[in-house]
Amino acid sequence: MVGDEVLTPDSSRFWPADGYEPGRGQPSFDKQYVRDWASQSGWDKSPPAPELPDDVVAGTRQRYVDAYELITGEPFERWLERSGTTTA
């Protein structure tokens, strides 16, 4: 059975196979990076959420780019060019 968003890094768990070790947290390509930052930030999970620092935003973006490139085998920049999208 396949659920929705099966191939998106924010809903699926994608780990680099060469770094996988059972029994410990895995370096991942998903939103766990933001969750880890939030849990270490001291935020009590009450609204409003704290603003994400620029380095967390950049780190999250890079994980999504890395996941895209590993899954598709093409540079993310090539997709941006093909789609007429510019980087922010």
pTM of full prediction above 0.75: no
Q: What is the DSSP letter of 78?
A: H
- Answer for the pair 12, 30: CB distance below 8 angstroms, yes or no: yes
- Give yes or no for a contact between 23 and 10, defined as CB atoms under 8 angstroms apart: no
Q: Residue 10 corresponds to which amino acid?
A: D
Is the four-CA dihedral 45, 3, 15, 68 of positive or negative sign?
negative
Q: How many CA atoms lie within 13 A of 63 on its CB side?
A: 21
pLDDT in tens, 11-28: 666 778 888 888 887 777
**Tokens encoding 37:** 């930052």
Summarised one tens digit per residue, pLDDT across range 34-62 is: 988 999 999 999 999 999 999 999 998 99
